[in-house]
A and B are shown apart, each in its own frame.
Chain A
Amino acid sequence: MIDNFPPGFVMVLGALLIPFLPHIIKQIYMMILILISAYGLTLGFGIHSVINIMEFDFILFQADKLTFPFAIIFHIAAALNVIYGAHEKDWKQHVAIMSYSGAAIAAIHAGDLLTLFVWWEATAFTSVFLILAGNTNRSYKAAIRYILIQVTSGMFLLAGAIILLVNDGSAILTKFDINSLYGQLIFIAFGIKAAFPLLNGWLQDAYPESTAIGTVALSTFTTKLAIFCFAKCFAGVEILIFIGALMTFYPIFFAVIENDLRRVLTYSLNNQLGFMIVAIGIGSELAINGAVAHAFAHILYKGLLFMGMGAVLYRVGTCKASELGGLFKYMPITAVCTIIGAISISAFPLFSGFVAKSLIMSALGKEGLVFVYFMLLFASAGVLHHSGIKIPFFAFFAHESKIKTKEAPINMIIAMVIASILCIAIGVFPSVFYQILPYEISYQPYDFSHVVGQLQLLMFAALAFICLWHFKIYPPELNSTVLNSDWIYRRMIPLFIIPCINFSKKITNKIRIIFYLVLLKIKIFFANYMIRNKVFDREIGQDTLIIIQVFAIFLIFLFFLHYTSFTS
């Protein structure tokens, strides 16, 4: 029975019981759910569960070498989320996180587009509660925008799936043709969730409005699900290389000027997704391994960074660089863990980012894509700037703020320490890590050239930051809103649409008045006509009956005409 359940499904179902359990039992119960779900990973590759509804085979549980690493890291992340949020008494967030992680895990095991669509929407509708949990007017509005965009993505996916189903008679999840209409629709659907350039507004808009634990969960699943889908359906599509390169490139500048540190991390998340998209666009075995490895490592260190900032938010109540500073002496363990996350994301040797990113850079070098290679190298220096230095520096050092606080709760610390250990373990033992990747490779990230080259790049970028700070060239962080692509639908379109709506309202009001007047005239005319000609009088009524009889005969005649033509 349990073998037929796709991994994650039990988490979605089990989440319904969470509200009825007392506080600590709830956490143990959630861990058990994750363990039961993880049992599905031991069943091996192949199709394990198919149900037939309305003559369509829904492939609920399909495992292969690509789903395996994603399933592992999704389970690890779900477990870390449970530990990290153990202090939280609000059951709504736990239900949302558990069902959201379950839906994402089930989504990667979907074997056809319709099953994927169901879980695709499930991730949207469960995760929106995490943004609503922010419990502010802003978070409410952001949640509405978030769900609208996520549902739009789902509609594109459904449209593509239906076209494919009508054309081919099946909607099995496999490599799609980007030149076909259905391929393009599905590409856009994935692109929205992967936060492509100009489609990325929802990411920076919604994620930082969530709670401390909500953002950690959000940062893990939705975007990486999109990355998984791209790797499965669009590996080797050339345009992804350029889209990805752009994604690594431009969020850097936004991250540099953004003041809210969790929002900085969402820009950084966007930039990291770019690395994965580039690798998927290359499509070679080394590159796909790189994309998967990067997604795996990224979930850990980005989760760790969000945990660190979440702990600061939980204790201090704000994540704004302009208001933070000097927290190291109050929150030393949080600070050290955040620094480990920052070092990992910057891809310093012996940390997880390095062993993952090296695969992508080597794949790029092998393909001879020099320009993209240097864009990514530039982006690597940018990552160090905004995630490696800015996050820990402005939160825990920089200037002395007047904030006095204490270390994060013990459960948060445990989650952060585990994530830190995993970040270092992956960096130190890359050969073990590489074994779970989709393709077998013999790749050695630690050679003299790689290590010295990478260290030079990072250390001199750090030196540049130090110079800018030391000589007081670096401007102070300011309370501000940085305009992003969501500005298009939050300000630009309303700028044109609202006058249009007002104008059309005026016009329609006038038209309506004219219409009413005309209608009134007609009514009066007919009323007069009826009274004058005594329509309701008896003698006229008999004539009307004759007309009805003639009409009925005509109908019967038509019927027979039709019937005879049908039988002959």
Chain B
Amino acid sequence: MKSVIKKFGKINSFVLFLCFLLLVLELIGHRHGETNIEDLMFFPAFFGFLSCIIIFKIGVSLRSFLMKDEDYYDR
């Protein structure tokens, strides 16, 4: 446990712990969503994680043609 905290830092380890706790909570209680697909096991967790990665990936790929020099409009 201490080695994990040392490796990832306090806040990151806390997030990791919370994520684990949420997965356990889902196993204990019965969670259902607004739509049928959401009722799949751990769906929001997967969806959240993947969304964040996709947003990051698209964002980084957009950098090449949307990002210009700071004085782009001043020239």
Q: Ordered nearest first, which 7 A-B pairs have the shortest CB separation?
A: A365-B34, A256-B59, A464-B52, A381-B51, A457-B48, A456-B44, A460-B48
A361 at the interface (CB under 8 A from B): yes
Contact for B67 among A257, A370, A455, A491, CB less than 8 A: A257
Flag A132-163 by CB within 8 Å of B: 1 or 0 each. 00000010000000000000000000000000
Interface bin, chain B = 35 or more
A16 at the interface (CB under 8 A from B): no
User: When A and B form their complex, what is the total count of cross-chain residue pairs whose Cβ atoms lie within 8 Å?
Assistant: 148
Which residue of A is nearest B70, CB measured? A479
B34:A361 contact, CB within 8 angstroms: yes
B55:A381 contact, CB within 8 angstroms: yes
B7-64, CB < 8 A from A: 8, 12, 15-16, 18-19, 22-23, 25-26, 29-35, 37-38, 42, 44-56, 58-60, 62-63
Point out the residues of chain A lying under 8 angstroms from B34, CB to CB.
361-362, 364-366, 373
Which residue of A is nearest B16, CB measured? A463
Known: A361-B34, A453-B38, A475-B63. A459 touches B56 (CB 8 A): no
Point out the residues of chain A lying under 8 angstroms from B18, CB to CB.
455, 459
From residue B7, how far is it (CB to closest CB) to chain A in Å?
9
B15:A452 contact, CB within 8 angstroms: no
Point out the residues of chain A lying under 8 angstroms from B69, CB to CB.
480-481
From residue B35, how far is it (CB to closest CB) to chain A in Å?
5
Known: A453-B44, A464-B49. A257 touches B62 (CB 8 A): yes
Contact for B63 among A257, A453, A459, CB less than 8 A: A257
From residue B67, how far is it (CB to closest CB) to chain A in Å?
5
A459:B52 contact, CB within 8 angstroms: no
A481:B38 contact, CB within 8 angstroms: no
Known: A370-B37, A463-B16. A456 touches B45 (CB 8 A): yes
A516→B19 CA distance, assembly (Å): 82
10 inter-chain pairs at a CB distance below 8 angstroms, sorted by A residue, are: A257-B62, A374-B35, A385-B55, A456-B44, A457-B45, A457-B48, A463-B15, A475-B60, A475-B63, A482-B66
Interface centre among A256, A457, A490 (most CB of B within 10 A): A457
B46:A460 contact, CB within 8 angstroms: yes
Q: Is the interface of B mostly helix, strand, loop or mixed?
A: helix
A382 at the interface (CB under 8 A from B): yes
Contact for B48 among A254, A459, A490, CB less than 8 A: A459
Flag A405-419 by CB within 8 Å of B: 1 or 0 each. 000000000000000
A466→B68 CA distance, assembly (Å): 27
Which residue of B is nearest A379, CB measured? B51
A483 at the interface (CB under 8 A from B): yes
A482:B67 contact, CB within 8 angstroms: yes
From residue A558, how far is it (CB to closest CB) to chain B in Å?
63
A56 at the interface (CB under 8 A from B): no
A377:B47 contact, CB within 8 angstroms: yes
B38:A382 contact, CB within 8 angstroms: no
Point out the residues of chain B lying under 8 angstroms from A458, CB to CB.
48
| Given A252-B55, A464-B56; 8 other pairs, CB 8 A cutoff | A254-B66, A361-B34, A382-B55, A448-B30, A456-B44, A456-B48, A460-B19, A466-B12
